[in-house]
């Protein structure tokens, strides 16, 4: 992997990780277009540069993080409840990931699966926008119940299928739990810190030595830094956009991406 490829993958990861469009699918396409061969080191690289996206959210939402830390030491009931909700949201994916990760990677990681997931997710978004009504109404994040947080966690499990999008499922889960779009988006971001952080640590420990040996430190550092910067841009833009508009744009985008993926599959992408 050269530095240019690391930059491209970092941009793709950062721009798509927190948007409801599936970073996995975009990384598959980016690799194919750059002629990169799949390997354990490349897969670990794509997971580990998520660390940049995690740092972006931690920086943007540091007041929430500080509040949860105060909750840990007994100085904030709201922070303690928030942390508990995030843990409840993380548990379903953690359990399912430990039980099914190998099977999912072996049978579901393909361009065809991503294409179908993109299309289905796009239709789901458009149907939600059509029938939900005013997307700005709903509960605040402080009103999220433990049961609602667990529901978001269950929905997150669906995103283990490549192309579904973790952000999409957690946002829809938050909306199903009665949150406003703004609150659902924020909870999705914060839950992503834990979920992505766990995945990053797992792959860094399991494949870190192999990744560094094959790729070197420079592409890893560049990719992570670029993912951090592009995540800052994407998160800020999406929060501002959804304060004024619905999720429909992402639904149409996913349908367009599915059509592009179909063309690539016909040209040999697997």
Strand partners, 179: 139
How many domains does the chain divide into? Answer: 1
The whole-number average pLDDT for the span 132-156 is 85
Note the pLDDT of residue 106: 73
So what's the pLDDT on residue 50?
92
How far is 200 from 81, CA to CA, in rounded Å?
25
- Contact residues for 108 (Cβ-Cβ < 8 A; gap 6+): 160, 161, 162
Q: Give mean pLDDT, residues 229-234.
A: 95
Mean pLDDT throughout 226-233? Answer: 96
CB 81 within 8 A of CB 187: no
Partnered with residue 139 across adjacent β-strands are 179
pTM value is 0.88
Diameter over CA atoms, the chain: 58
Inter-residue contact 142 to 78 (CB < 8 Å): yes
pLDDT at 242: 87
The arithmetic mean of pLDDT across residues 243-254, rounded, is 91
- Band of the pLDDT at 133, cuts 50, 70, 90? low
Q: Which whole number is the average pLDDT over 185-189?
A: 93
Mean of all residue pLDDT scores within the chain: 90
**Residue 266 pLDDT more than 70?**
yes
With tokens 């952080």, the residue in question is 197
In this prediction, residues 3-24 reach a mean pLDDT of 93
- Spatial distance between the Cα atoms of 203 and 192, rounded to a whole number of angstroms: 16
Give the range of the structural domain holding residue 212, as residue numbers without chain letter: 3-266
**Residue 115: which of 268, 10, 264 has the closest Cα?**
264
In the chain, what percentage of residues exceed pLDDT 70? 98
Region 206-213: what's the mean pLDDT?
88
* Contact (Cβ atoms closer than 8 angstroms) between residue 114 and residue 163: yes
């Amino acid at each position: 992997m050269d530095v240019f490829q690391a930059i491209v993958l970092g941009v793709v990861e950062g721009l798509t990780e927190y948007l409801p469009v599936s970073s996995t699918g975009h990384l598959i396409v980016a690799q194919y277009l750059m002629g990169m061969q799949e390997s354990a080191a490349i897969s670990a690289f794509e997971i580990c540069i998520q660390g940049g996206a995690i740092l972006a959210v931690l920086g943007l939402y540091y007041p929430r993080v500080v509040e949860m830390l105060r909750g840990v030491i007994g100085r904030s009931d709201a922070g303690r409840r928030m942390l508990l909700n995030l843990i409840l949201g993380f548990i379903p994916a953690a359990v399912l990931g430990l039980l099914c990760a190998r099977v999912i990677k072996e049978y579901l990681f393909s361009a065809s699966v991503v294409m179908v997931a993109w299309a289905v997710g796009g239709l789901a978004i458009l149907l939600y926008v059509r029938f939900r009504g005013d997307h700005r109404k709903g509960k605040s994040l402080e009103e999220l119940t433990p049961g609602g947080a667990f529901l978001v966690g269950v929905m997150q499990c669906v995103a283990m299928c490549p192309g579904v999008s973790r952000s999409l499922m957690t946002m829809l889960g938050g909306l199903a739990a009665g949150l406003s779009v703004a609150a659902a988006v924020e909870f999705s971001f914060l839950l992503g810190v834990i979920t992505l952080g766990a995945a990053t640590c797992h792959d860094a420990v399991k494949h870190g030595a192999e990744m560094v040996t094959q790729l070197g430190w420079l592409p890893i550092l560049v990719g992570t830094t670029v993912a951090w910067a592009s995540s800052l841009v994407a998160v800020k833009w999406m929060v501002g956009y959804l304060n004024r508009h619905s999720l429909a744009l992402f639904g149409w985008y996913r349908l367009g991406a599915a059509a592009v993926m179909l063309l690539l599959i016909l040209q040999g992408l697997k």
